[in-house]
Copies of this chain bind each other. A is one copy, B any other.
Amino acid sequence: MSTDIRLSPGDTIGILGGGQLGRMLSLAAASLGLKTHIFCPDLNSPAFEVANAFTVAPYEDVAALEVFASACSVVTYEFENVPGPTAALLADRLPVRPGVKALEVSQDRFHEKEFLRSAGVQIADYATVDSDQDLTAALQDFGGEGVLKTRRFGYDGKGQVMIRAAADAVGAFDKIGRAPAVLERLIPFDREVSVIVCRDVDGNCDAYDVAENHHEHHILKTSTVPANVSAATAAKAREMAISIASSLEYVGVMGVEMFLSGSGENEVLLVNEIAPRVHNSGHWTEDACLTSQFEQHMRAVAGWQMGSCTRHSDVVMENLIGADCERWPQILSEGNARLHLYGKEEARPGRKMGHVNRLSPKSE
């Protein structure tokens, strides 16, 4: 499909996936006078409530996808595991942004690493693992340590085994279901940072300030901006993210996670992974910037000019996970906090229910 389609206000953006990211994308689109149509198999999708239209069907339902395609001017997605045939079917009919290539790369850790290396950014050493013998060989190369990760469908720490000693390696390949995997060299990193980068259909790129992320139980808990990194490292992180988006000929917003080790002049950045969508570690942009990542993504996907990534305030974003959301009355009483809830009914453990952005005057 033509890559230069540009929408007008009133046109419809299709979104694959109906979770909180789709919901926040729909809200951002509505502020711009754009319509959204959500496609999601789950009848209780939070995004349905705020979209102009929605389709409840499996991602493999060809007839439903064809009706969906005919109702939209362009399609985007809120999750990277869109089935390949689904993306291909849609891409035959209308522009799929950020792009099919971004999906292919991010759905397979090995392809992702090969791509990142080709894009010239630094990443941890890695080796493919398709058998116990592969694992043994790779561990020997990496000093007996490493993180074993399935190539596909891993998120929030799922499909991963940490190997720090010989005993950890026993049965490790079984633990991930003997699925095709990669072993990553263990990086003694101090911090995780991320950059939200955006690119428009004309190839213009920009990036938000670097966020410093803290995880609990493998789930993002807080993102703090500005990150406590040197100016040189901050600039380097943004450059790396922009370089990745450019190499992918990406259209929209992407999250780039990086490991940071050392300090001061010895800070070293390694890209961990990319997420070809709006990203949890970019939720702070909604209240600390004039243009949020959600608006930025909708603008880029619509073929519109992007807004400024400038930040007007310092901010700490806290995820409200499971029962955390019961603290909403206290959060409302905090003068510098803005509460975001996703409209999910059941607060299951580990489920992302909302987030809160706490602002303070800009420090730099």
User: Which A residues are within 8 Å of any B CB, using their own CB?
Assistant: 9-10, 23, 26-27, 30-33, 35, 49-50, 52, 287, 290-291, 299, 304-305, 307-308, 310, 312-313, 325, 328-329, 332-333, 335-336, 338-343, 345, 354, 359, 361
A290-B287, A290-B359 known; A341-B304 Cβ under 8 A: no
* Residue pair B35, A49 in contact (C-beta under 8 Å): yes
CB A12 to nearest CB in B, in angstroms, measures 11
Of B50, B325, B345, the contact of A30 (CB 8 Å cutoff): B50
Given A9-B341, A10-B343, A305-B332, also A33-B354 (CB < 8 A): yes
Look across to chain B and name the residue whose beta carbon is closest to the beta carbon of A31: B340
Taking a contact as CB atoms under 8 Å apart, the answer to whether A312 and B312 are in contact is yes
A345 contacts across to B, CB distance below 8 A: 10
Interface residue from B27, B332, B359 paired with A31 (Cβ < 8 Å)? B27
Which among A23, A312, A340 has the greatest number of chain B C-beta atoms within 10 A?
A312
List 7 A–B pairs whose Cβ atoms lie within 8 Å, in order of A's numbering. Answer: A9-B325, A9-B328, A27-B27, A32-B341, A35-B49, A291-B338, A312-B313
| A307: contacting residue among B35, B335, B342, CB under 8 A | B335
With both beta carbons as reference points, the residue of chain B lying nearest to A305 in the complex is identified as B332
Q: Please report the C-alpha to C-alpha distance between residue A307 and residue B356 in the assembled complex, in whole angstroms.
A: 13
Give the complex CA separation of A359 and B307 in angstroms: 13
Bound CA–CA A333/B343 (angstroms): 33
A346: shortest Cβ distance to chain B, in Å? 11
Measured CB to CB, the closest approach of chain B to A360, in angstroms, equals 10
B307/A30 in contact, CB under 8 A: no
With a cutoff of 8 Å between Cβ atoms, the chain B residues found around residue A338 in the complex are 290-291, 307
Whole-angstrom distance between the alpha carbons of A332 and B9 in the complex? 12
CB pair A33 B341 closer than 8 Å: yes
Contact status of A312 and B359, CB under 8 A, knowing A332-B299, A338-B291, A343-B9: yes
Choose among B23, B305, B310 the residue that contacts A333 (Cβ–Cβ < 8 A): B305
Interface centre among A287, A291, A339, A340, by most B CB within 10 Å? A339
Flag if A30 contacts B49 (CB, 8 Å).
Answer: yes
- The complex places the Cα of A361 from the Cα of B304 at a distance, in Å, of 26
Q: Please report the C-alpha to C-alpha distance between residue A339 and residue B342 in the assembled complex, in whole angstroms.
A: 24
Whether A310 lies near B335 (C-beta < 8 A) is yes
Q: Inside 8 A of A27's CB, which chain B residues have their CB?
A: 27, 30-31, 50
| Contact yes or no, A32 B305, CB < 8 A | no
User: Which B residues are CB-close (under 8 A) to A313?
Assistant: 312
Distance in Å: Cβ of A10 to nearest Cβ of chain B: 6
A343 touches B33 (CB 8 A): yes
Inter-subunit contact A308/B336 (CB<8 Å): yes
Complex: how many Å from CA A31 to CA B337? Answer: 13
Which residues of the other chain, B, contact A49 by a CB distance below 8 angstroms?
Answer: 30, 35, 52
B336-A290 in contact (CB<8A): yes
Collect the chain B residues with CB atoms within 8 Å of residue A335's CB: 307-308, 310
CB <8 Å contact, B342 and A33: yes
